[in-house]
A and B are shown apart, each in its own frame.
Chain A
Amino acid sequence: MSDGPRAIVAAHGDLAEGLVSAVSRVAGAAAAARLMPFSNSTLGGAELVDALRQAVASTGAQVVFTDLPAGSCTIAARRIARESPGLAVVCGTNLPMLLSFAMASTGGPETWRVAVQKGQAAMCIAEEGARAD
């Protein structure tokens, strides 16, 4: 099933590692191997761009999943995408989104568009929690 990383998951702290670990638990190691976790920890702006650019180049990833739209990972990924047309950047990454992407048989644009739809659809208030006073 696995053919090496096809996407970078770039996030704050240990979030990317945790998300990829969760993909492995839910969908198996082969699906998780399609995702390379990347942390912005300790990296300044320029160093972050260099490290992420290297990760994209070494994997041939066509998409970078990031957490915060305003975050340094997103800004770095967009900077690289402007240099390298064809690289997609997806913000607001969550586990359902990554599961959809990692379990798909292909990794093209339609795959991450569907993944975004899955991620968005998974966000809900499952129980209101309102008390009737």
Chain B
Amino acid sequence: MPIEVYRIDDRLVHGQVVVGWGQPLALGFIVLVDDQVAESAWEQDLYRMGVPPEMAVHFESVAGALSRLPAYRLLPDPGLLLAGSTAAMRALVEGDPDIRHVNVGGLHHRAGRSPRLRFVFLDAAEEADLRAMRARGVEVSAQDVPGAVPVPLDDLLTRSGG
């Protein structure tokens, strides 16, 4: 099965991922890509405990994900890849030409970020990352849950909140 969703979400594993996307897509696994979490058993335990037992969580650094993504795509169940930042997802896109769609699922309020949607706040570097992904032919859109209408990148970058 392919990895169904490549998602940027600064909350990493949380309700929208596990329940909102996990149930309708019948996700069998999540690949959580974060260099810090990949090196911390404590962090991994924290995220794993929130996931139902039938859903596996694989913790990867960016480099590890790039080397093992082909193998994850051969797993029998649908999967979701989760990165906590635009920079991490950009690195994945630049290293793996099979990523064709990127879902901006949640980048929340933080100093220096400007509101684009209720669940998307971006700073200049993050906007540049998203544009760079799109420049490689990747479809980038913002969508928090499956039932919401995806907001394409061009539309997203013209918005000013709400």
Contacts and interface: CB of A to CB of B under 8 A. Distances in A.
B45 to A, nearest CB: 9
B50 to A, nearest CB: 4
B18 A70 contact: yes
Main secondary structure of the interface of B (DSSP, over half): loop
A47 B108 contact: yes
B109 A75 contact: no
Given A45-B84, A74-B50, A75-B47, A12 B15 contact: yes
B56 to A, nearest CB: 14
Interface residues of A, number: 19
B46 A44 contact: no
Interface stretch (B6-14, B61-69, B91-99, B130-138): B6-14
Interface string B79-102: 000001000000000000000000
Interface in A51-81: 67-72, 74-75, 78-79
B106 interface: yes
A74 B19 CA distance: 14
A105 interface: no
17 contacts: A12-B15, A42-B119, A44-B10, A44-B11, A47-B108, A67-B15, A68-B15, A68-B18, A68-B50, A69-B50, A70-B15, A70-B18, A70-B51, A71-B14, A71-B15, A74-B50, A82-B42
Interface of B: 10-15, 17-19, 42, 46-47, 49-52, 84, 106-110, 118-119, 121
Given A68-B50, A70-B51, 15 more contacts: A42-B109, A42-B119, A42-B121, A45-B108, A46-B10, A68-B18, A68-B19, A69-B49, A69-B50, A70-B19, A71-B15, A72-B15, A74-B50, A75-B50, A82-B42
